[in-house]
Amino acid sequence: MGRLGREIAIVGVGMTPFGRSKKDQLEMFGEAAMDAINGSGLKPKDIEALFLGNAVGDLSEGQTVIASHAIAEIGLLGKAATRVEGACAAGTMAIIMGVMAIASGRYDIVLAAGTERQTVSGTAFATRIMNTGPHHFYEEPTGLTFPGIFAMMAHYYAKKYDVPLGELKDAMAKVAIKNHKNGAKNPKCQFPSITDLMEKRKAKAKQEGKPVPTWADEMDFLHDSKVNMMIAQPLQLFDCCPISDGAAAVVLAPVDIARKLTDKPVIIAGFGQGAAGGIITQRDFTRLIARESSAKQAYDMAGLTPKDIDVCELHDCFTIAEIVATEGLGFFDFGEGYKAVERGDTVMGGKIPINPSGGLKAKGHPVGATGVAQAYEITNQLRGNCGERQVEGAKVGMTDTMGGPFASVANIIFKRGW
């Protein structure tokens, strides 16, 4: 693979709150896009092209040609606008497309964004929409859901590494506790901490005159199958990310221009992207072909190794997915990721803080926006803007985004440009 013609940086970022929104995907895009453009000290007219991550907007809101409608939201009639679709990886892929478009020399200033509104579909139809990710002839007609796909990953992991399922599930529960705890310090996060959720449920029971639950701690709460119901064995509700709405955007520019616009340009040091079909084309549920290819491309391009990464936002669509991703990105040996969770290596202040934003698990997962929201978090982490959830002194950060049934993975490594 060749090198880029120019070095590219993020100059500004924007993001809506994640959760349930009254706004449609174009309105949310408009907010995030203008926050990113205004934060870059630019006007919409300075943007030369848009790459928009959007996975299922045609099915959820009946909107195709969404990139064109999006660019009209910000008044750029006549400019190039391209939808990038890669299921949950679409946002990161949109940033990569934007970076390469600038590196080609064709454009200087590009907006990369992602938007998605999924709560409007309801659980049953949203689940049907998502199961368009598996192969439509050979996987989808089994009734396979995304929790089901990652449930099979969890069983495979337990069998392969000979871990008692209960021990693995407790490590998975600790991923959920950690990400909710991190997310509670993120004002754009969909969910509060699990402790807060427990207290709310207790208060509600008391108010309604019902018996008040007596959970000893968060783990006790997660062991209660009445509140943490089974979704797809062995995954329970709190192993799963929510259905969400949201949008995020970043403005990209070559480093020489970026330095004139901001004191803190965040440089795209490396990126990678890989695809590998669906489940039936994998060879091991714990060694994902797309991720291992993509991560190697990103590390090679950046000239960095996993030890150089100070903070990582990775694809924790399900708790087991976070454990497997920490191994695939090289932070821990294969089969050791669940032990790292037990040791606390991935908490704030640990060896490698994972998902300080709350991750997909707690922050929410409007799928086409997720990768851009990860870049939003890493940009703010490197700039020191994250307040209570700041990873102190973070200089190099990484994002990891997976789309479909292990189908597409895209990674970006970011470093301070000052």
Instruction: List residues near another protein by CB under 8 A.
Output: 59, 123-125, 127-128, 130-132, 134, 136-145, 147-149, 151-153, 155-156, 158-159, 165, 229-235, 279-283, 285
Q: What is the dihedral of CA 6, 9, 12, 14, to 10 degrees?
A: 100
**239 vs 377, beta carbon nearer another protein:** 239
CB of 216 to another protein, least distance (A): 26
**79 vs 169, beta carbon nearer another protein:** 169
CB of 383 to another protein, least distance (A): 39
**277 vs 384, beta carbon nearer another protein:** 277
**Are 29 and 70 a contacting pair, CB within 8 Å?**
yes
CB of 88 to another protein, least distance (A): 17
**212 vs 229, beta carbon nearer another protein:** 229
* Closest of 174, 147, 128, 98 to residue 344, by C-alpha: 174
**125 vs 418, beta carbon nearer another protein:** 125
CB of 348 to another protein, least distance (A): 32
Q: What is the chain's length? A: 418
Q: Give the distance, in angstroms, between the CA of residue 108 and the centroid of all CA atoms in the same chain.
A: 26
Active site (annotated) includes residue 365? yes
Q: Please calculate the CA angle 359-379-21 and round it to the nearest 5 degrees.
A: 50
Q: Look at strands 49-53 and 110-117 and give their pairing.
A: parallel
Distance CA 255, CA 316 (A): 31
CB of 55 to another protein, least distance (A): 14
Selected catalytic residue, list 88, 189, 241, 312:
88
**Are 278 and 394 a contacting pair, CB within 8 Å?**
no
Selected catalytic residue, list 135, 180, 315, 365:
365
Cβ neighbours of residue 267 closer than 8 Å, sequence gap 6 or more: 7, 8, 9, 255, 414, 415, 416, 417
CB of 188 to another protein, least distance (A): 26
Buried b (16+ CB within 10 A) or exposed e, 221-235: bbbeeebbeebbebb
**283 vs 307, beta carbon nearer another protein:** 283
Q: What value does the CA radius of gyration of the chain take, rounded to a whole number of Å? A: 20
List the beta strands (DSSP E) in 98-205: 110-117
Residues serving a catalytic function are 88, 365
